[in-house]
Structure 1
């Protein structure tokens, strides 16, 4: 796996830049469990973006295999 495909993916870049908005939102919140929920949702979105980039090669192989049948 090349790290370049993660760094150039719009999904990963958008999710990573979402940390700015999340930090602004969490900064104005009281220090309780809701702050952890906000960061958890952001982290989940970032994980989904990274997973989607990781699965792109398998998706392309599946499409090629499906067309060859």
Structure 2
């Protein structure tokens, strides 16, 4: 598992940079449960971006097997 493909992926970069906006938004909010929802949504987006990069190799392999069959 090479970390370079995660660091250079635009989806992962965008989700990571989104932490800045999330921090600004959460900083201006009241300290209640809504703040956790905002961070949870950001974390889910980051997890989806990372998972999509992880699945790219498997998708390419599946496409190659389908074309050869």
TM-score normalised per structure 1: 0.99
Aligned residues: 69
What runs of 5+ residues in structure 1 fail to find an aligned partner? none
Q: Gaps (5+ residues) in structure 2?
A: none
Spell out, residue by residue over 1:20-55, the C-alpha distance to the aligned partner (whole angstroms, 9 max, x if none): 000011011000000000000000000000000000
Runs in 1 of length 4+ with deviation above 6 angstroms? none
C-alpha RMSD of the superposition = 0.3
